Amino acid sequence: MTVLASTTTYWYLTRSTGAVALLLLSATVALGVVDLRRTASANWPRFVVDELHRNLALLTLVFLVLHILTSVLDSFAPISLTASVIPFASSYRPFWLGLGAVSFDLLLAVIITSLARKRVGYRGWRAVHWLSYGAWPVALLHGFGTGSDVNSGWLQLLSAICVLVVLAAVIVRIGASRDISPRARGVAAGGTAAFTLFLLIWLPAGPLGSEWARRSGTPSKLLPKTRHAHR
């Protein structure tokens, strides 16, 4: 499937900053998921891992902001600034772009409450932090659904790495940490397995399948003019 791609700088920037943001987010989430109490070592003290986690989150935000700005400035697709924050408000692949806005909002909530941790209190901060478990898969799906170069090899490799890194962290946490109730363990394992299965089934049928650009809501004037889609 070919798509009429803009060759402006902004398009490349938005694609690359988005990819980097996803990588950074995956690393952030992985570090957060892994239970520091059990997995710290002499060379990696807990406070180092913790501060790395915090700094990666802030770096993710930086790249996210760049990603949003460049996608707004990119003249190829009609994406407005508001659509980047208010989910599902864009006319370009509204659902899949909207997921990006959702993820961004969740991430903002997590980061703001973390910076204002003293004001929010431990319980409030912890409750909001759970939202981060939503931000990552949503960002991943956004990347798959919105990206117009989903078929490219490097992007697939990058996405696979992101998934594997987070998956590995979740498995380590479920398996190694002693103070998780069996029920929580089951829910986490089940949820992870379900999500992985979903990816394996949906990806070939969805973004990697035929006519994804049209099916995902790209405005028709941006679609390739070829009549017949070829696989």
Partner 1 sequence: MSLHLRVDPIACEAHGMCAELLPEAVVLDEWGYPVVDGRPLPEALVEHAERAVRACPTFALLLQRRLNREHPRDRGAPGTGRGSAPRSSSAGSRSASR
By CB under 8 A, name the binding residues for partner 1: 36-37, 40, 45-47, 50-51, 118, 122
Q: In whole angstroms, what is the distance from residue 4 CA to residue 202 CA? A: 24
Largest CA distance in the chain: 62
- Smallest distance from partner 1 to CB 40, Å: 7
Residue number with CB closer to partner 1 (30 or 162): 30
Q: List, as one string, the DSSP characters of 31-78.
A: HHHS-HHHH--SSS-HHHHHHHHHHHHHHHHHHHHHHHHHHHH-SSS-
Q: How far is the CB of 199 from partner 1 (least distance, A)?
A: 31
User: Cα(139)–Cα(189) distance, rounded to whole angstroms?
Assistant: 20
Residue 32 vs 207, nearer CB to partner 1: 32
Taking residue 90's Cβ as centre, other Cβ atoms within 10 Å add up to 25
Query: What is the dihedral angle through the alpha carbons of 189, 195, 201, 207, rounded to the nearest 10 degrees?
Result: -160
Compare residues 46 and 215 and give the one whose CB is closer to partner 1.
Answer: 46
Q: Report the nearest approach of partner 1 to the CB of residue 1 (Å).
A: 47
Q: Which is nearer to partner 1, 47 or 88 (CB)?
A: 47
**Closest to partner 1 by CB, 36 or 73:** 36
- C-beta of 39: minimal distance to partner 1 in Å? 12
Give the shortest CB-48-to-partner 1 separation in angstroms: 8
Q: Name 203's Cβ contacts closer than 8 Å, sequence gap at least 6.
A: 144
